[in-house]
Amino acid sequence: MSFIAGIDQASRQRNSLLCVGLDPDPARFPAQLAERSDAIFEFCRAIVDATADLVCSFKPQIAYFAAQRAEDQLEALIAHIHERHPGLPVILDAKRSDIGSTAEMYAREAFERYRADAVTVNPYLGRDSVKPFLAYRDKGVILLCRTSNPGGSDLQFLEVDKADGTGGKEHLYERVARLVSGEWNRHGQCALVVGATFPEEIRRVRQLVGDMPLLVPGIGAQGGDIEATVKAGRNSTGMGLIINSSRAILYAGTQVDDGINFAAAARQVALQTRDEINRYRVG
Amino acid sequence: MSFIAGIDQASRQRNSLLCVGLDPDPARFPAQLAERSDAIFEFCRAIVDATADLVCSFKPQIAYFAAQRAEDQLEALIAHIHERHPGLPVILDAKRSDIGSTAEMYAREAFERYRADAVTVNPYLGRDSVKPFLAYRDKGVILLCRTSNPGGSDLQFLEVDKADGTGGKEHLYERVARLVSGEWNRHGQCALVVGATFPEEIRRVRQLVGDMPLLVPGIGAQGGDIEATVKAGRNSTGMGLIINSSRAILYAGTQVDDGINFAAAARQVALQTRDEINRYRVG
């Protein structure tokens, strides 16, 4: 099954648009994991197993593993998700970008080495930098469009001339949305990253891309509003959103009672977040 | 010594603006390396030792290592360069980009784990995504500006309104050059990637950024013209260029005589390339 179909199916089966982002920071782990050589795997595995019935996907952030020399634990984690929670797509958050011959290597890293179902990609290098990822037809390619950080506006919010020759203007992120939903999405593999901190821009992207899935980071620790996000971003069927929360879920219980119940605390916040999202999917 | 000072010193000492890109593709290795478990390290080490007196830096491309599960060989390779060829800067070509908290992890990966002297970064996420790299004051941060691939024009060549309020226009890559050479370069750590396939745009970037170093990929296998590149990109002192060649040097001899003399053949092409570059630095 393709990533796009898989995410839709997982969302329906679990009645959830929530994605849990796996950004493991050993400095914030509970004490009982501190001595383990596989602490990163073990922390994430516990979170995964405690929340798998509440989410439409998991999104490991590769930088957190790479900074700790823990690529092997990332491989083991994704293998664990595929094995224990079949049908739940894994999005490798890597924001890769390079020219074609190198992008082939990044695609191999994401899809063959790590066996991710989708990968995030930076669009700045244009169409041929994305093609090697699209060559894996069952995989998802999630392009950065409007990111949730303050500096995102430096380039993404610049006004460019529209391509239609009318003399009208659009923002760079709108051009990215058009490019991706047009020719880059010929085989229906694409999605877009649009930050929850900008609901008006989520609404604009939704207008431009039809029912295409949007990966929305920025709720939770980054302060994005769930109601505004869901109302702006839901598609015609109340779906089409992959709403990511990382730190607010991962570390919900790590500072309480020495973090002994961190996985249960994470589950509690995931449940609340899923339910809050569902409250605004229709109506 | 800072990266920017280090690249200048290495360029002068070796009378070279050439950077050898280390993009190890095991499918193209000579037969004698095929059975070795450390073939990637060994191939790159031989190239490094054969060319170190002819270059101003080495640029390992991390995707080629990651696709082969060879992060340990990349660590060993960079350690080898620092130990055996002290004073020769290492540019980690990773084109990373993410929001601040994650960018911190990528900066740690590049500078603490791999001990690179500089890293390539994608500017699409704006200032706060670059800041964690800039926090390492001795390190270089090399931002993508105008890339050498055909699709680079999709976004980089779009026209945006100038920030000076005159109603004038500039290309997105020019805005990136201005942003980077202005506020992002407060501590003199930045450089820009400008592809050799567009000499007119190298010239334009040089006008915008003063003497800032430009990393120029795209000569050799990608077809960029050396004379045009150097004349367009040299700064006021005939310096300020880091001209990268990867495949044309790495694989110069791997298809001849079973590749037994691949390192000597690489040296020969590196020497020719360095000398051709030097022919156009002044006059």
Return the residue matching tokens 């800072």. B2
Tell me the three-class secondary structure of B112-142, residue by residue: HHCCCCEEEECHHHCHHHHHHHHCCCCCEEE
Identify all chain B residues contacting A99, using CB atoms and an 8 Å cutoff.
147-149
A246 interface with B at CB cutoff 8 Å: no
* B189: CATH: 3.20.20.70
- What's the pLDDT score for residue A163? 80
Return residues 144-173 of B near A (CB < 8 Å). 144, 147-156, 158-161, 172
Could you say which DSSP state residue A32 is in?
A: G
- What's the pLDDT score for residue A218? 85
Q: How far apart are CA A15 and CA A281, in angstroms?
A: 11
pTM for the whole thing?
A: 0.97
Residue B274 token pair? 């360095």
| Dihedral Cα A215, B104, A102, B93, nearest 10 deg | 160
Q: What is the mean pLDDT of chain A?
A: 95
The residue in chain A having the minimum alpha-carbon distance to the alpha carbon of residue B159 is A160
> Mutate which of B62, B102, B198 to test chain A, going by most A C-beta atoms within 10 A?
B102
CA distances (Å), origin B173, targets A121, A162, B99, B111: 19, 18, 21, 26
Identify all chain B residues contacting A215, using CB atoms and an 8 Å cutoff.
none
How close, in Å, is residue B277 to chain A by CA atoms? Answer: 24
The residue in chain B having the minimum alpha-carbon distance to the alpha carbon of residue A163 is B158
Of how many residues is chain A composed? 283
Residue A134 and residue A142 in contact, taking contact as beta carbons nearer than 8 Å? no
The residue in chain B having the minimum alpha-carbon distance to the alpha carbon of residue A21 is B102
- What's the pLDDT score for residue B71? 98
DSSP string, B148-210: SSGGGHHHHT-EEE-TTSSS-EEEHHHHHHHHHHTGGGTTS-EEEEE-TT-HHHHHHHHHHHT
- Is it the case that residue A220 has pLDDT exceeding 80? no
The residues of A assigned a catalytic role are 95
CA B115, chain centre distance (Å) = 16
Identify all chain B residues contacting A127, using CB atoms and an 8 Å cutoff.
150-151, 154
Q: Which stretches of A234-261 are DSSP H helices?
A: 247-250
Tell me the mean pLDDT in the region A50-54. Answer: 98
Give the model confidence (pLDDT) of A93-146 as tens digits. 999 999 989 999 999 999 999 999 999 999 999 999 999 999 999 999 999 999
**Cβ B124–A158 below 8 Å, yes or no?**
no
Residue B28 and residue B251 in contact, taking contact as beta carbons nearer than 8 Å? yes
Which secondary structure element, helix H or strand E, spans residue B96, and what is its range? strand B91-96
**Cβ B147–A153 below 8 Å, yes or no?**
no
Per the structure, the complete domain to which residue B127 belongs is given by 3-279
Collect the ranges in chain B with pLDDT lower than 70.
Answer: 221-222
Q: How far apart are CA A216 and CA A198, in angstroms?
A: 10
Query: Is B95 annotated in the active site?
Result: yes
**Cβ B129–A113 below 8 Å, yes or no?**
no
Of how many residues is chain B composed? 283
Q: How confident is the model at residue A224 (pLDDT cuts 50, 70, 90)?
A: confident
- What's the pLDDT score for residue A221? 66
Number of domains in chain A: 1
Close Cβ partners of A173 (under 8 Å, ≥ 6 residues apart): A145, A146, A156, A157, A194, A201, A205
Tell me the mean pLDDT in the region A136-165. Answer: 93
- What's the pLDDT score for residue B221? 66
Q: How far apart are CA B92 and CA B121, in angstroms?
A: 10
The residue in chain B having the minimum alpha-carbon distance to the alpha carbon of residue A194 is B125
